Amino acid sequence: MKLFLRHGEDTKRVKVEGDTIAKDALMALFRDKFSLAADAKPHGNALYLADEDFRDVIFEMEDPDDVYNGAVIHWRLKQRKAVGSSLNPNTKRRATASGKAAFSTPGVMAAIAQKKAQDAELAQVSLAKEQAEADNSAAEAAKEQAEADVAEAAAKEAEEKAAAAKAAGDSEALAIAEAEAAAAREKADKEKAEAEASAVKAQKEKEEADAAAAKLEADKAEAAKMAEVAAAEKKAEEDKAAADAAKAAADAAEAEKKAAEEALAKEKAEAEKAQKDAEEAAQKAKEAEESGEDPMAAMLLAKAAEAAAAKAAKETAEAEAAATKLAEETKASEAASAKAAEGAAKAESAAEDLQAKQEEVVDIVNTATEGAGAEADDADKFKAFLFAATME
């Protein structure tokens, strides 16, 4: 049976004996073919197959009989979190894929800011070392130059003595003077070479110290910018949460207002009906009293009229209370809506501020996340961390 094993973007073809294969055996095949760790597992600990007839349909393998000749079997990996739409167009255009993932993942900006602050501390230590070395080299170069000057003066003096001996025709003195002059010149040349080498070393150390100073300033600047982004991100998140809470409160207040409106409408209808019933009862009682035909009936109708009037008064009072409640709920709803609008404006402003600060650090984030991945070099644990942080 021929199978296609898919791991991420890689696909390998394998041949297996028989018409079925167990999940454990398949996972062992994946580990072997893709050089995975012995305890590696797919995301969700499940393998997926493309349907034999509908290849765009992917389903979880639950039974070895699901596997068929030519099946495409997927080992699912953790997927990077979807990049949000919070980045402005310019930032989206300039950011790398890893940079976008970092921007869209809460906490990563703060992590980069912390790393930059640590880099600045290390740069400070390095600068102190480089400056000390530069100062030592400068002092050594000055010493070598002084020794070279002394040696040069001695050589010239010896050469002058040799010239005087030659002019005097003193061959014995000349021989001695020339030997001393040659030795002095050799020493002077040596001291000069050493002084020049020390000067070159001192210049190199100075350049390295200057570079360390520049790096320190750059690291400080980047750390400050990243700290600003992290703070802006936190504020944007807090303001968004507050705006959402205010919107929820406004929606709840609006619902209370609508409920109060419905209650008022109901109470008014009941009050109007009670008032109408009371008027009709009073009219019947009056007519019965005026006719004088049945005093008992008239008395009962009078009592009924009194009860209807009392009910009407009660319903009217309840309607008035409902109107008062509606006024209160309307006021509360308006206040909640105003607060929600204020919160939304504040959240929008914080989001715009965050976008502006994100645009300023695109290059920093791109560089910080470059090469971040599951296979990041062991020496750069930070980039391995960034990769993990941007995974679901």
CATH number for the domain including 31?
3.10.20.90
Same domain, 55 and 130: no
Q: Are residues 71 and 118 in the same domain?
A: no
Q: Own/partner pairs for 371-375, CB < 8 Å, 24+ apart?
A: 372/98, 372/102
Residues 247 and 241: their CA atoms lie apart, in Å, by 10
Return the pLDDT at 376: 47
Task: Read off the pTM.
Answer: 0.57
Domain assignment of residue 9, yes or no: yes
Provide the number of structural domains found in the chain: 2
In a domain? residue 324: no
Domain boundary (206, 232, 258) is at 232
Q: Are residues 124 and 190 in the same domain?
A: yes
User: Is 247 among the domain residues?
Assistant: no
Amino acid identity, position 358:
Q
In a domain, 335, yes or no: no
User: Domain containing 207: what range?
Assistant: 114-232
In a domain, 138, yes or no: yes
* Residue 306 counted as domain residue: no
Choosing from 24, 57, 75, the residue where a domain stops is 75
Point out the domain boundary residue: 54, 75, 96. 75
C-alpha distances (whole Å) from 334 to each of 3, 154, 257, 346 are 65, 99, 10, 18
The one-digit pLDDT tens for each residue of the chain (392 residues) are: 888 898 877 888 898 888 888 899 999 999 999 999 888 889 888 898 887 776 656 788 888 888 888 888 998 886 554 434 478 889 888 988 878 878 887 788 888 888 888 888 888 988 899 899 889 989 998 998 999 899 899 989 999 988 998 898 888 888 998 899 899 899 989 989 998 999 999 899 899 889 889 988 988 898 899 899 889 988 988 998 888 888 888 888 888 888 899 999 999 999 999 999 999 999 988 888 888 888 888 889 889 989 999 999 999 999 999 999 999 999 999 999 999 999 999 999 998 998 899 899 999 888 887 876 555 454 566 666 666 666 54
Residue 304 inside a domain? The answer is no
User: What is the predicted pLDDT for the residue at 253?
Assistant: 84
Is there a single domain that holds both residue 226 and residue 141? yes
Q: Are residues 121 and 228 part of one domain?
A: yes
In this structure, the answer to whether residues 220 and 135 fall within a common structural domain is yes
Question: Distance (Å, rounded) from C-alpha 147 to C-alpha 198?
Answer: 12
